[in-house]
Amino acid sequence: MLGASLHATQEASVPSIFAVANPKGGSGKTTVAIILAGEFAKHGYSAAIVDADPQGSSYQWHGLSPQGVDLVRAPDEAALVQAVERLAGYDVVVIDTPGYYGEVLIQSALRADLVVLPCKVHTFDASQVVRTIRNLEQHAATAQLPMSQHRVLFNEYDSLDRNTRPLREVVAYLDSEHVPVCATALYRRVTFRTMTSGFGTLYQMSDKDESVRKARYNADQVVRELLAASQGTTTDETAA
C-alpha cells in the first residue's frame, strides 16, 4: 500500500519533500505536483503544495478546487524556507518550482528527498533536464551536501511514442549521461488537463468515466515509483 510504505520510513514530524523541477516552460510541473499531492491525500496523509512558481498555476487550481490538499505560496527564497518550516508537521510536501533556474529552484532541490524532472520525449527537452541536473550537482557540491535523489519522468507521453526513433534517441542520451529515468511514464490524457483546470484531484472526479479510472491507475503507478526512488528502494519493495 502506498500510504503504509510512506509511514514506514518517515521520522516523526519530518515530511517527505518532492521538488518538481524543470526550468523549461510547458514541461507539466504543476500537473505532476497536483498528482503527487493528490495521491498521498487519497491515502489519508496530510499533503501540501508549495507554489514557488510566479505564474501561480498551483494556486489558481487550488483556489477553484475544494479538496484535501493544502497550499502555500512562496514567491521567493525566504518565503520558500518559511513555507517548508511551516509545513514541517505534514506527511508530504510537494514544491512546484519556478519555470527558470534560480535560487528558489536550487534551494527546493537541496531540501528535497526526490527531485522529479518532468520531460517530454524530445532531445531538446532532455538536454535541458540534463543541464539542470548538472547545475544542481555543482550547487550541492559547493554547499557540501549530497545531491538529492532525482528521476526524470516522461510527461505527456503518447502510446505512439513507443519504439520510435525520437524515444530511442532520448533514452540513449539520458542513459549516456547516467541520468535515472522512471520506468513508468505519465501519459497524455484529457483527464489530467481537466483536473488542473479546477476540478480538484483525480479522486474528486467521477470514476464512472473510464478515462478517469485509467488516469488514476497511471498516476498511482507513477507515484509508487517516485516514492520508491525517494526512499532508495524499488517499486516492488515499496508495494510490499
Q: Could you report the per-residue pLDDT of 63-80, keeping only the tens digit for each?
A: 777 678 999 999 999 999
Q: Is the dihedral of CA 133, 237, 185, 56 positive or negative?
A: negative
pLDDT surpasses 70 at 239: no
Per-residue pLDDT tens over the stretch 35-55: 999 999 999 999 999 999 988
Please tell me the distance from the alpha carbon of residue 181 to that of residue 185, in angstroms, as a whole number: 9
CB atoms within 10 A of CB 175: 11
- The C-alpha R_g of the chain, in whole angstroms, comes to 17
- Which of helix, strand or coil describes residue 105? helix
Per-residue pLDDT tens over the stretch 152-176: 999 999 877 788 888 999 999 999 9
Residue owning grid cell 474528486: 204
The model's pTM is 0.90
Residue 198 DSSP class: T
Residue owning grid cell 515530511: 15
Residue 13 DSSP class: T
Please tell me the distance from the alpha carbon of residue 224 to that of residue 2, in angstroms, as a whole number: 6
φ, ψ of residue 230 to 5 degrees: the values are: -65, -25
Q: Which of 153-162, 208-217, 231-240 has the lowest mean pLDDT?
A: 231-240
Please tell me the distance from the alpha carbon of residue 10 to that of residue 8, in angstroms, as a whole number: 6
Q: What is the pLDDT of residue 236?
A: 55
pLDDT surpasses 50 at 213: yes
Q: What is the pLDDT of residue 166?
A: 85
Averaged pLDDT score across all residues of the chain: 90
